[in-house]
Structure 1
Amino acid sequence: MPTAFEFCLPTAAKTVPDGPDWLHEIKYDGYRVRIERQGRDVRLVTRNGHNWTGRFPWIVEAALKNREQQFVIDGEAVVLGVDGVSDFNALHSRKYDDEVQLYAFDILALGGEDLRQLPLTMRKANLARLLRGRPDGMFVAPFEMGEIGPDLFRAACDMGLEGIVSKRRDRRYVAGRSREWIKVKNRTHPAVSRVMDALEGRNS
């Protein structure tokens, strides 16, 4: 299995792509992580390269319960409220580390094979097969295809969600910032205020 992986990062935009070549996912408010399994060895790595394997035991347990011995999954670590919406404050508090789950939206390697060169739709199919049955601790991110993107974004805003991420369905997984992954945030969501506060803190 490949030994080096880097995250693909979405580019921020103000409008949602509405062409037929895009698929769209709800943006959950959590921590971006990558779960890597090689036999009985499991690592959970953050976007900044921190090893958080010991921090979220439910995700690690779910990875070890899978029959597949080798895989690398990209996703978001989240705490879900009773309404099914991610709760960043609960996640950030560290009081609910045992309840943190993985919202899985991509797979980079499986069974020793590097899948990053495959189109996104094929990677999604491999991810669905790997996590079929929705094992506790991990769940596959639902998505919608095509022109529905703007309507999905409006619905996400109406529900108080963070926004959506739109991705080219036919493209490979590339490291670094990509214009083939587009994120559009709900401007009224608390996550936007957190980002603005952080920027103001840097500039003060």
Structure 2
Amino acid sequence: MRLKFIPPQLPTLHAKPPEGDDWSHEVKFDGYRSQMVIDEDGTRIYTRRGLDWTSKYRDLAAAAASLGAESAIIDGEIIVLNEAGLSDFAALRKAITRRQHDLYFVAFDVLHLDGHDLRSMGCEDRREILEGMIPPAIRIQFSQALPGDAQAIYHLVDQAGLEGMVSKRKDSKYRSGDSRDWWKIKCYEVEEFDLLGVEREPGKPAFALMADRATGRYVGSAFVNSSQAIRERLWKRVQEHAGPAPKGVKRPATQWVKPGLIGRVKHLRGEEDLRHASLQDFREE
């Protein structure tokens, strides 16, 4: 029987890990969410949205033969590691086209196995089955649960420079779509960006508009929640450095500035653009 792609279960974003012993915790990898489907027609690998990308992952599809399953649907993440041994999203894009042998499929759930639908089993039971399927030393790896207290795990994940962690209810069934049974808790980092301007509207929070320092690309806005002294200093500098609006940009509530102001921004790690970002401070170049 030919198996079909199943839309994935998606974790909801939370600021802190859950409490209690009803949860298991894993590293949140910085890669492409993918689904591996094995049946009588061979192995296919789909993107999170159900696009067949098997041709881009030929080496990983070939590695699936080592699992010994006649049929299976496996949920996971395709990653590539950098020199520090961390999943590296920027390097992943290049690896897909130039060095497929560096790709890994990190498996964290199994939905079907040899004719049996496992989605109504508990998460912990499904993962025990999955771990038993994966032999050592192949490009398909099992996402191990992290032992210990959730807060301590989050601290260690943050200190290691990882993107974050995923927490799952041990007894939860697999259900496609947004899930309250799966949480993702992301780590923050602080970086410097070029300040393009400040958006201020009466009765609304102020936002600093930021650009990547290397490319000049607009990366999003950061909530200005600094101390009153920093906010007052910022308004003063913005007025002193007032500049024209970028071509084609119409944001009437924004005071644009000339190049030379650099903002320190705290934001979620592992995102292409700024998310949950706040301006911590700024300096003049």
2:186–2:269: 8 Å Cα contact kept in structure 1? no
The correspondence for 2:98, drawn from 95, 99, 124, is 95
Bigger RCO (CA 8 Å, 6+ sep): 1
Matches for 1:135-154 after TM superposition, within 5 Å? 135-144=137-146, 148-154=149-155
Shift of 1:156: 0.6
Show the counterpart of 1:202.
Answer: none
Matched residue type, 1:38: D
Structure possessing the higher radius of gyration over alpha carbons: 2
Runs of 4+ in 1 over 4 A off after TM superposition: none
1:91–1:97: 8 Å Cα contact kept in structure 2? no
1:7–1:47: 8 Å Cα contact kept in structure 2? yes
Show the counterpart of 1:159.
Answer: 160
Whole-angstrom CA distance in 2 between matches of 1:3 and 1:40? 12
Show the counterpart of 1:191.
Answer: 270
Inter-CA distance 4–136: structure 2 relative to 1 (3 Å threshold): closer
Shift of 1:169: 0.4
Matched residue type, 2:149: I
Matched residue type, 1:134: P
Tell which deviates more after alignment, 19-28 or 60-69. Answer: 60-69
**What secondary structure sits across from 1:144 in the alignment?**
coil
Inter-CA distance 71–135: structure 2 relative to 1 (3 Å threshold): farther
Shift of 1:135: 4.5
Whole-angstrom CA distance in 2 between matches of 1:80 and 1:73? 21
* TM-score where L is the length of structure 1: 0.88
Whole-angstrom CA distance in 2 between matches of 1:156 and 1:96? 28
1:134–1:140: 8 Å Cα contact kept in structure 2? no
Shift of 1:81: 2.6
Inter-CA distance 90–96: structure 2 relative to 1 (3 Å threshold): farther
Show the counterpart of 1:26.
Answer: 27
Show the counterpart of 2:238.
Answer: none
2:80–2:89: 8 Å Cα contact kept in structure 1? yes
Q: Structure 2 regions of 5+ residues with no counterpart?
A: 190-267, 276-285
Whole-angstrom CA distance in 2 between matches of 1:65 and 1:144? 25
Q: Structure 1 regions of 5+ residues with no counterpart?
A: 198-204
Matched residue type, 1:97: Q
Shift of 1:100: 1.0
Q: CA RMSD in A?
A: 1.7
1:120–1:173: 8 Å Cα contact kept in structure 2? yes
Show the counterpart of 2:45.
Answer: 44
* TM-score where L is the length of structure 2: 0.64
Show the counterpart of 1:171.
Answer: 172
1:58–1:98: 8 Å Cα contact kept in structure 2? yes
Q: Deviations over 1:96-146 (max 9, x none)?
A: 333211011000011110000000111011101111x3241100001135x
Asked if 1:121 is matched to 2:124, the reply is: yes
Matched residue type, 1:181: W
Matched residue type, 1:69: E
Matched residue type, 1:100: L
Whole-angstrom CA distance in 1 between matches of 2:31 and 2:137? 19
Shift of 1:190: 4.4
Shift of 1:87: 1.3
**What secondary structure sits across from 1:45 in the alignment?**
strand
Percent identical across equivalent pairs? Answer: 32
Asked if 1:112 is matched to 2:191, the reply is: no
Whole-angstrom CA distance in 1 between matches of 2:157 and 2:64? 29
Matches for 1:11-90 after TM superposition, within 5 Å? 11-90=12-91
Matched residue type, 2:186: K
More helix by share: 1
1:116–1:174: 8 Å Cα contact kept in structure 2? yes
Tell which deviates more after alignment, 89-98 or 159-168. Answer: 89-98
Q: Deviations over 1:72-111 (max 9, x none)?
A: 1000000023432111111022333332110110000111
Shift of 1:34: 0.2
